[in-house]
Structure 1
Amino acid sequence: MNAPADTEPHLLIVDDDDRIRSLLKRFLAERGFRVTTAPDGARAMSLMKGMAFDLLILDVMMPGMDGFELTGAVREKGDVPIILLTARGEADDRIRGLTLGADDYLPKPFEPEELVLRIRSILKRARPAGPAHVKVRFGSWEYDLQQETLSRAGARTRLTGGESALLSALAATPSRAVSRIALSDKTGGGERAVDVQVTRLRRKIERDPRQPLHIQTVRGEGYKLIADAVFEDRG
């Protein structure tokens, strides 16, 4: 039995291919999601002015405003999670999407069930449940390893999927260097993607990203998170 409509995660699919929009809408609706579709970026931006969405699924190769441009426009206004879909699987395109703030990147063709798994993983990070456990404190920031949430003075800062995976890997061994290869295994985006995620994280948590205090580069090795304390919060 499906959950009531107002509790279902609300997804927005943006793709200029009518067939793909229709197939994805039906498939995702059958798996308990509330789905709205748009044929292009302009229509998507119009919908977002009057509706709230839990996650966006954007095709990259669209006429007019493409998926990259739409991602950039969305990030200027908010932090709703974004998955990019594209027939182009080149590393440069993945890096561009991550740099603009996308949470995940799925090349076409793909298995629909894989898309569902990625959606649920991102939504779980965006809306975690359950009590907190191990936290790492650095400066004025706290990172909860179980819930994968970053906060300062009680206010949560949203992380993309890649940023969260990277920070989790660094926080698991605080103040110890983690190689770029090991970090790329955790984030699944390659070593260049690790550097992109580090740059984005520094912009969020460092007072001066050019002279980072918290996420430091270890020359010849990788990166490390300089932690002030590791503690267990039993709620």
Structure 2
Amino acid sequence: MSAGPALSPRAELPDHAPHILVVDDDRRLRDLLARFLGENGYRVTAAASAAEARARGRSLVFDAVVLDVMMPGETGFDYARQIRLTSSVPILMLTARSNPNDRVTGLEIGADDYLPKPFEPRELILRLNNILRRNARGPADGTAAPLDAVRFGPFQFRIERGELTRDEEAIRLSEREREILTILALARGGNVEREALTGTNGAANERTVDVQMNRLRRRIEDDPANPRYVQTVRGVGYRLVLD
């Protein structure tokens, strides 16, 4: 697939489809990301460097930026700092680095999320949808309203606050339980693959996710062995059954 500034393969995408700026010096990865994002309802502009991205930004408005950390010359960190001087556009940073300090640096600069390479493209879509929703822009098809809270049975989960209540009584959650519940809630009742539930740094494996899911069920389900709300989707992952 040839490289270029506007690489969405679907010319029929509506004007209100979110417009994503992909910045990565790896041509192959830029092309793959542009194609995959286009197939999932995004308009895409690609840039090979921070300088090229800055030039694109002079004439275009973006709904989010997918930004690689390791680029020659001006790094992704440098460019993210420059973006934050004038804009609050959501930033999803990509990196091959394993040092947790890099993630902290990105978040301190103002990045909204941080995805280590290699990653599953479907996880990228999930995380991108999440940060767009948090910034009140809706999901990729542009039709759904921002999601503030979800209800299931006697429970309500306030997403932005990470608060779970049952009949107005607060239920204490661990950080991982809160993270898992947030991902499930933002899927709006849809299926979520195990890979997407491994945590923001990808540290947990799928078996660990199953263990954590069982702990979450013990907090929510009357009968954790026969869950009503946090259900297993065989061969896929999990889903949260909403009202």
TM-score by length of 2: 0.57
Runs ≥4 residues deviating over 3 A: 1-4, 130-134, 183-190
Q: 1:94 aligns with which of 103, 107, 111?
A: 103
Please state how far the C-alpha of 1:130 moved relative to its aligned partner.
6.2
Q: How does 1:196-207 map to 2 (within 5 A)?
A: none
Tell me, yes or no, if structure 1 residue 186 matches structure 2 residue 178: yes
Counterpart for residue 5 of structure 1 = 14
* Correspondence 1:61 to 2:70: yes
The Cα of 1:2 is off from its aligned counterpart by 8.6
Report the counterpart of residue 127 of structure 2 in structure 1.
Answer: 118
Q: Per-residue CA shift, 1:104-126, capped at 9, x if unaligned?
A: 11111111111111111111221
Question: Unaligned stretches of 5+ in structure 1?
Answer: 135-144, 149-163, 191-235
Partner of 2:196: none
Aligned runs of 1:32-47 on 2, under 5 Å?
32-47=41-56
How far 1:133 moved relative to its partner? 7.2
CA shift, 1:87, in A, is: 0.5
Residue 130 and residue 24 in structure 1: after superposition, are their counterparts in 2 closer, same or farther (change >3 A)? closer
% of aligned pairs identical? 45
Cα distance change, pair 91–34 in 1 and its aligned pair in 2 (3 A): same
The 3-state SS of whatever aligns with 1:186 is: helix
Paired residue secondary structure (1:109) = coil
Higher relative contact order (CA 8 A, sep 6+): 1
TM-score (norm 1): 0.58
Aligned residues: 159
Match of 1:85 among 73, 78, 94: 94
Partner of 1:230: none
Q: CA RMSD in A?
A: 3.1
Query: How far apart, CA to CA, are the structure 1 residues paired with 2:116 and 2:29?
Result: 14
Separation of aligned partners in 2, 1:3 and 1:78? 29
- Whether the 8 Å contact between 1:55 and 1:80 is mirrored in structure 2 is yes
The secondary structure found in structure 2 opposite 1:89 is: coil
> Counterparts of 2:117 and 2:94 in 1: how far apart (Å)?
7
